[in-house]
Structure formats: structure tokens, C-alpha cells
A and B are shown apart, each in its own frame.
Chain A
Amino acid sequence: EPEVTQTPSHQVTQMGQEVILRCVPISNHLYFYWYRQILGQKVEFLVSFYNNEISEKSEIFDDQFSVERPDGSNFTLKIRSTKLEDSAMYFCASMRDRSSGANVLTFGAGSRLTVL
């Protein structure tokens, strides 16, 4: 069964360092998302991406964050200068399209980011 693949599964970094989290969405999906989940808290929307551009972003997704789809398959989330409060599980998700029945988010296994 097709799946969303995320790397790395766990990254430990020092505060202030740049981090890139990678995702390979399901190949025929058109909509891509990043969510994060701080330990013990709810899943929070960061950004959605469609047609090679950001379609929506939350207040969390400030100037420290950026997304790219550099080569038509990978979908990356970059955090420019990590802060302690960026420690969380970051989930990539993709969706085939917005038609009825296809608008189901499929999640990757997540990338756990620990900022020291």
C-alpha cells in the first residue's frame, strides 16, 4: 500500500541550528501538509502546499519555517534557527485531491525533533 515516507525518524540538534525534515508523499497526491505534535498535546497544523506553492499556513509557521518541493517528489520542511519549543513530532501528510472520498489525509510516521 502506498505510504508517506519521512526522514529522519529522530533528530537531535542544538538550539540555533538549522534543521531540514524530509518527506516523500504518495506519488499521485496533489496536496501536502506539515503538522506538528508537541508531546502530550494536540496535532497542530503548520502549512499546506498545493501546485508548488503554500496554500495556507498557521500562526506557528513564522519566518523561521519554510517548505519546498525541490524535485517533484520530496517535500521538505526547514527550520532556520531552532528553538527549544520547536521540539516536537513533525508529521508530513498528503492528500490525493479534494474531491469527495479522496480528501483523506495520509500521514507519514513522523520525524521527532529534539532541540537541546
Chain B
Amino acid sequence: EDKVVQSPLSLVVHEGDTVTLNCSYEVTNFRSLLWYKQEKKAPTFLFMLTSSGIEKKSGRLSSILDKKELFSILNITATQTGDSAVYLCAVEATGNQFYFGTGTSLTVIP
């Protein structure tokens, strides 16, 4: 059965800390891996990764994919309270389906 596992399930840090969120997957016919941020309602898109070893960056957030070891990490540096959210990892497989992990709940304390 295809699956996506995220760790840790939750994390509490202080402003300014750096965090690393993990996503491992076992999905047949992998096409891409996506990271989303879910604050109150709809997940909003952060990154899409298709190739191993190429870092995607957006401000303080960055992400990289390892297709050999079947995982991705999402890094957030100099965290702010506005980074508090659930971060979702989703893997797209051929056959038109996306598989989501349970998410990592990040709380940033002032």
C-alpha cells in the first residue's frame, strides 16, 4: 500500500530557531513530491520537487528531495510565529492521485 509518513507529528520551538520537517514515502510510480502549509483551512502550496538533490528555496524555507532514499525535508530557518501551521507532504503518483502524510504541526512560541 502506498504511504507517506511525516515526522515529527508535532514540534514546538521558539522564534528564531531552525526546524527540519521530514517526509518519507513508499509510493509506486512516483512523479513528484509537494509541500503544503495548512494554517486554518485550505492547504497552500509551498514547493514541488521532482529531481533528487536540487534544493528549492523561498525566503526562509527550503526543501530537498532524495529519490534514492525516498524522503524529503523541509527546512525553516529563523522561525517566526507566522510559521505556526500544519505542514503537509503529498506525493503524486501516476494514475492521477496524490497521497498525503498526516502532517507536522509546528508551533512557534514568541
A contact residues vs B (CB 8 Å cutoff): 4, 31, 33, 35, 41-45, 48, 50, 55-56, 89, 91, 98, 100-101, 103-110
| A31-B96, A48-B96 known; A109+B103 contact, CB < 8 A | no
Is A105 touching B98 in the complex (CB atoms < 8 A)?
Answer: yes
Is B48 touching A43 in the complex (CB atoms < 8 A)?
Answer: no
A17 to chain B, nearest CB (A): 24
| A41-B102, A45-B97 known; A110+B41 contact, CB < 8 A | yes
B contact residues vs A (CB 8 Å cutoff): 31-32, 34, 36, 41-45, 48, 50, 88, 90, 92, 95-103
Q: List 18 interface pairs A-B (beta carbons < 8 Å), by A numbering.
A: A42-B101, A42-B103, A43-B88, A45-B99, A45-B100, A48-B96, A48-B97, A56-B96, A56-B97, A89-B41, A98-B96, A100-B50, A103-B48, A103-B92, A105-B98, A109-B41, A109-B42, A110-B41
| A43-B43, A43-B88, A110-B42 known; A103+B100 contact, CB < 8 A | no
Main SS at interface, chain B:
strand
User: Which residue of chain B has the shortest Cβ distance to A102 in the bound complex?
Assistant: B48
Is B101 touching A103 in the complex (CB atoms < 8 A)?
Answer: no
Q: How far is the CA of A103 from the CA of B31 in the complex (A)?
A: 9
Is B90 touching A56 in the complex (CB atoms < 8 A)?
Answer: no
* Contact among A31, A33, A103 for B32, CB-based, below 8 A: A103
Residues of B within 8 A of A109 (CB): 41-42
| A43-B88, A98-B96 known; A108+B42 contact, CB < 8 A | yes
Residues of B within 8 A of A50 (CB): 96
Is B42 touching A105 in the complex (CB atoms < 8 A)?
Answer: no
User: Which residue of chain B has the shortest Cβ distance to A48 in the bound complex?
Assistant: B96
Q: How far is the CA of A100 from the CA of B94 in the complex (A)?
A: 12
Residues of A within 8 A of B42 (CB): 4, 91, 107-110
Shortest Cβ-Cβ A-B pairs, 6 listed: A107-B42, A43-B100, A42-B102, A109-B41, A55-B96, A109-B42
Q: How far is the CA of A45 from the CA of B27 in the complex (A)?
A: 14
A100 to chain B, nearest CB (A): 7
